[in-house]
Amino acid sequence: MTKALILMAKGVEEMEAVICADVLRRASVDTLLLGLEGEASVEGSRGIILGVDQAFRGDETADLVVLPGGGEGAKHLAEDERVLSLLRRFEQEGAWIAAICAAPIALVAAGVGKGKSMTSHPSVRETVESFAGNYVEEAVAIDDHLVTGRGPGAAFDFALDLVGLCVGPQKAGEVRAPMMFG
């Protein structure tokens, strides 16, 4: 079974965290929401309190790590050495790494994905563009085992792409159909 980790810090963009967790779990991906601060919940960027499954340690293993954005949340991710170390390890192991909205700044801080195609929220474009090999203004950018997304409006496409990459396009279609996209 495929395993995914979603790292959550204070200021996380709620939609991105919840949509990714929901879509991955609909695809039967073993998905854990991990809180950076060790608390039972994390306050999101809009003041919504989100529960976490367990505290993030930094030594976890999985097939996929997802970094939701939110300006403050992304800053916390980019400043946490445990996160940066995990990202470097995942890149070396060839595991999937995904970051959406402002969270690609954590990839830059870790030195992960240098020279690859990336996208991000416009608020962090300069930082990401100077690091990426090819900055694209698309909802989702996929380059090798790196997936980046623009922001909350791209969260469903981002999450469904993760399902397609990790579990297969047929499963992504099965998950997408009952969600009734136009």
Query: Annotated active-site positions, please?
Result: 16, 101, 121
Tokens linked to 108: 């830059």
CA 37 to CA 143: how far, in whole Å?
Answer: 31
Tell me how far apart the alpha carbons of residues 126 and 152 are, in angstroms, rounded to a whole number. 19
174 vs 6, 112, 155, CA distance in Å? 22, 32, 18
CA angle 46, 52, 58 (to 5 degrees): 110
From CA 172, how far away is CA 135, in angstroms rounded? 26
List the beta bridge partners of residue 64: 4, 96
Q: Strand 64-67 to strand 49-51: parallel, antiparallel, or no bridges (unpaired)?
A: unpaired
SS3 22: helix
